[in-house]
Amino acid sequence: MTDTIADDLRSAVARIAGTEVLLVALDFDGTLAPLADDPMSVRMLPAARFAVTALLQAPATVVAFVSGRSLADLRTIGEHDDASRVLLAGSHGAEYWIPGEGPVSHGDDPAAAALRDTLRARAERAVVHLRGVWVEPKTFGFAVHTRLADDDATAQAHRLVDAIVEADAPHWRRRTGHNVVEFAFRHEGKDSAIAELRDRVGATAVLFAGDDVTDEDAIRSLGDADLGVRVGDGDTAAAVRVPDIPALAELLALLAAERTSARR
């Protein structure tokens, strides 16, 4: 299965495979599962699922999904139950699921949550007339999806919702992704999620893989002992790039095999 992996990728995998405690942190949408018009319909590709299972069986290896999705939605699309050994970082690292412990959130702010609900309702009313635009509720804000919209509707949606948030919540964080703009009153990013997970599991090295703009926060935070992997096109600070999800799954499966061999 690994015959298609180039020598430079094999070298990168071999380097990180020998670390004492390895954290493999993975974005979900576009990295393990294909993007879809219905975000809740996505699931890991079989090859990705196989690779994740192999990594979980490798010695001193921790797997985490790090996503902008709310924790509840990430558990659904990740088919994650209470017995799972996969750690979760949802909402860009503002909430977590820890095996044996359960959900962990970084505080509750009733005033911010009330403002979230108000602004989300206003955003929904502002874009209701725009074909193909819809607003997704998030734990700490909301997201405006335009995958099914044309360029004009997309531009209008961004202009209208940007104005709403700028007027009443200019301190909120604005993130862009594949056909989505997200607004949140929490400012955690995938970089802080990686730092927290690294500290929690005592990782001596981290592999992080992602496909989108928000994943670059995590990739740029990595150190010399770590490995960043970009899935697909786009500017990146990652040392390694793979073309698609099957190629990443192949790389992860190789890592699991190398990790098992190196730790014998």
Task: Show which of 132, 161, 184 is a domain's final residue.
Answer: 184
85 and 115 both lie in a single domain = no
Instruction: Give the domain CATH number at 233.
Output: 3.40.50.1000
96 and 192 both lie in a single domain = yes
d(CA 73, CA 78): 8
218 and 251 both lie in a single domain = yes
| Rounded to 5°, angle at Cα 230 from 254 and 205 | 60
Q: Which of 56, 51, 26, 29 is nearest to 209 (CA)?
A: 26
pLDDT grade for 126, boundaries at 50, 70 and 90: very high
- Start-to-end CA distance of the chain, whole Å, equals 22
Q: Is the model's pLDDT at 246 over the cut of 50? A: yes
94 and 11 both lie in a single domain = yes
Task: Show which of 138, 159, 184 is a domain's final residue.
Answer: 184
Give the domain range for residue 130: 110-184
7 and 79 both lie in a single domain = yes
158 and 194 both lie in a single domain = no
Q: Is the model's pLDDT at 107 over the cut of 80? A: no
Percent of the chain with pLDDT over 70: 97
* Model pLDDT for residues 183-214, shown as the tens digit of each residue: 999 989 999 999 999 999 999 999 999 999 99
pLDDT of residue 263: 62
Instruction: Give the domain CATH number at 178.
Output: 3.30.70
* Model pLDDT for residues 167-180, shown as the tens digit of each residue: 999 999 999 998 99
* Model pLDDT for residues 44-67, shown as the tens digit of each residue: 999 999 999 999 999 999 999 999
Q: What is the pTM of this model?
A: 0.88
Number of domains the chain is built from = 2
Task: Show which of 184, 210, 243 is a domain's final residue.
Answer: 184
Q: DSSP characters for 215-259?
A: HHHHHHH--TT-EEEEESSS----SEEESSHHHHHHHHHHHHHHH
pLDDT grade for 2, boundaries at 50, 70 and 90: very low
